[in-house]
Amino acid sequence: MSSIASPGKQKSGPATEDLMIEGMTCASCVGRVERALKAIPGVSQASVNLATERASVQTDGSVPREALVQAIHKAGYEVSAPAAQELLIEGMTCASCVGRVERALKAVPGVQSASVNLATERASVQGAADPAALLAAVEKAGYAASVIGSAGSNEDQQAQRHADDLRVLKRDLWIAAALSLPVFLLEMGGHLIPAFHHFIASTLGTQNSWLLQFVLATLVLVFPGRRFYQKGIPALLRAAPDMNSLVAVGTLAAYGYSLVATFLPRLLPAGTVNVYYEAAAVIVTLILLGRVLEAKAKGRTSEAIKRLLKLQAKTARVRRDGSVVELPLEQIASGDVIEVRPGERIAVDGEVIDGDSYVDESMISGEPVPVRKAPGGTVIGGTVNQTGALGVRATAVGGATVLAQIIRLVEQAQSAKLPIQALVDRITLVFVPIVMGLALLTFAVWLIFGPEPALTFGLVNAVAVLIIACPCAMGLATPTSIMVGTGRGA
């Protein structure tokens, strides 16, 4: 099977490039385009189809796409840019995830460019790549993906998923907080109030206090904190650590050291037998708090699209075979005649063929005064009929309506990346491995040069480096700002 060459890339083996051509009107156009393509060194075969307006070009792999496009332009025709494929990505938690998904998508044959947005959880892919190959690449990178259809078509499902995720996160946050608070008080209370330490030692006992902390911290890590290990450990094993990996390694280090101190204290040097259950439990709780705040921010950013979607009618009454039937918007075709009653929202863009009424077009024009519509006038889907009944012949339906195009433009604007964001994504792609290396270096320096107990100081400081170095803010700040601005504009 021949592969699809990415633009501008040199390949050693045979490759096939598919191009969409505009402006061909007859068989002579086909012959002209084929001759222009076959004249390029390295092109072995060129087949042009007038009906589909497509050209399939077989090369030896050394011909860049730009050379093919330029030859078609010289022949007097235009090459359409491949339509962007929109994917919904699930499971991304930080900016390093963004870089990882983009790198996986760009490696798929036929992809010209790929842009992933953490706030919208969407990927926009330019090129002629197979959607199944894109989904497989994202899945191999450790995330779930689905193809987004027409503008706004997945908004309801995405909003429901955000609501479900937020509900689960809130539940887990409350559980983690309730379990972590006693652990924190038992361990840190004695450091803050010496009398409390003596009270615990004389009543509950130090060893029993550690055992209670062990039980509570284990519950925190196994239940609310399980998500970090389910995603972070596999990412670490794939040599592609993310934010979940930082949390997993940091909490497991503190928890593992505490286990040894609790049950096998003889293995530790004198003066280093301490427990850090509260660190592991509190870290999970605080990261969950951050996830809840992020989930709320992501949910708010999609409000603009939801408000625009509410302007769309769900059904319309269509004249079919001498009768009027109510059909969902998806079943209405261009040329159908729609009946619009007073007070109803017009379902499609069209031309008035009978009736006389006033239509509120403020959603498009901003003008509060209704506009009179009579036979021959045009109406826009989403506007509201005011006084009389209208018969409207549909001229644009589905994604071709003005409102659908506005929604699509808002989606594209919210998914856009500023140049500075691309720089941030490149940095965060290597950020997590660098942080883990710095944590190991921190542990080694404290262990070798630190005061006693050096092992304890080394562990605590290494865990601190792992936990505090979270790239989530860098990844969310820019896209969230863009979405807030475009949302208010929409």
Spatial separation of the C-alpha atoms in residues 34 and 444, rounded to whole Å = 66
Considering only CA atoms, which of 185, 217, 193, 256 is closest in space to residue 455?
256
pLDDT in tens, 180-214: 999 998 888 777 777 777 777 778 888 899 999 99
The predicted structure's pLDDT at residue 138: 92
Q: Give yes or no for residue 75 having a pLDDT over 80.
A: yes
- Identify the band that residue 422 occupies on the pLDDT scale cut at 50, 70 and 90: low
Residue 411, pLDDT above cutoff 70: no
Q: Label each residue of the chain as H, E or C.
A: CCEECCCCCCCCCCEEEEEEEECCCCHHHHHHHHHHHHCCCCEEEEEEECCCCEEEEEECCCCCHHHHHHHHHHCCCEEECCCCEEEEEECCCCHHHHHHHHHHHHCCCCEEEEEEECCCCEEEEEECCCHHHHHHHHHHCCCEEEECCCCCCCHHHHHHHHHHHHHHHHHHHHHHHHHHHHHHHHHHHHHHCHHHHHHHHHHCCHHHHHHHHHHHHHHHHHCCCHHHHHHHHHHHHCCCCCHHHHHHHHHHHHHHHHHHHHHCHHHCCCCCCCCCHHHHHHHHHHHHHHHHHHHHHHHHHCHHHHHHHCCCCCEEEEEECCEEEEEEHHHCCCCCEEEECCCCECCCEEEEEEECEEEECHHHHCCCCCEEECCCCEECCCCEECCCCEEEEEEECHHHCHHHHHHHHHHHHHHCCCHHHHHHHHHHHHHHHHHHHHHHHHHHHHHHHCCCCHHHHHHHHHHHHHHHCCCHHHHHHHHHHHHHHHHHHC
Place of tokens 């480096």: 465
Tell me the CB-side half-sphere exposure of residue 8, using CA atoms within 13 A: 4
Candidate from 111-120, 216-225, 371-380 with smallest mean pLDDT: 111-120
Give residue 9's pLDDT band: very low, low, confident or very high (50, 70, 90): very low
- CA 141 – CA 430 distance, rounded (Å): 16
Q: Residue length, the chain?
A: 490
412 compared with 121, residue with greater pLDDT: 121
Task: Supply the pLDDT for residue 359.
Answer: 93
What mean pLDDT is predicted for residues 120-127? 82
> How high is the pLDDT of residue 20?
80
Q: What is the pLDDT of residue 314?
A: 82
Specify which of 44-53, 57-66, 348-357, 419-428 reaches the highest per-range mean pLDDT: 348-357
**Is the pLDDT at 28 greater than 90, yes or no?**
no
Between residues 273 and 176, which one has the greater pLDDT?
Answer: 176
pLDDT tens digit string along 365-396?
888 899 999 999 999 988 999 989 999 999 98
Band (pLDDT 50/70/90 cuts) for residue 76 is confident
- Residue 2's pLDDT is 36
Between residues 449 and 198, which one has the greater pLDDT?
449
Q: What is the pLDDT of residue 173?
A: 94
pLDDT the model gives residue 211: 93
Going by C-alpha positions, the residue among 52, 46, 16 that lies closest to residue 33 is 46
pTM for the model stands at 0.61
**Which of 121-135, 185-199, 386-400, 471-485 has maximum average pLDDT?**
386-400
Most confident of 54-58, 387-391, 469-473: 387-391
Better-scored residue on pLDDT, 329 or 217? 217
Q: 129 versus 176: which is more confidently predicted?
A: 176
Q: pLDDT tens digits for 226-242? A: 998 998 888 888 877 77
Residue 215 has pLDDT above 90, yes or no: yes
Higher pLDDT, 298 or 207: 207
Predicted pLDDT of residue 7: 41
Q: Does pLDDT of 243 surpass 80?
A: no
Residue bearing tokens 């002209």: 32
Whether 457 shows a pLDDT value over 90: the answer reads: no
Across all residues in the chain, what is the average pLDDT?
A: 80
pLDDT of residue 164: 83
pLDDT of residue 27: 73
Q: How far is CA 148 from the centre of its chain?
A: 12
For residues 466 and 456, give the distance between their C-alpha atoms in angstroms, rounded to a whole number: 16
pLDDT at 483: 58
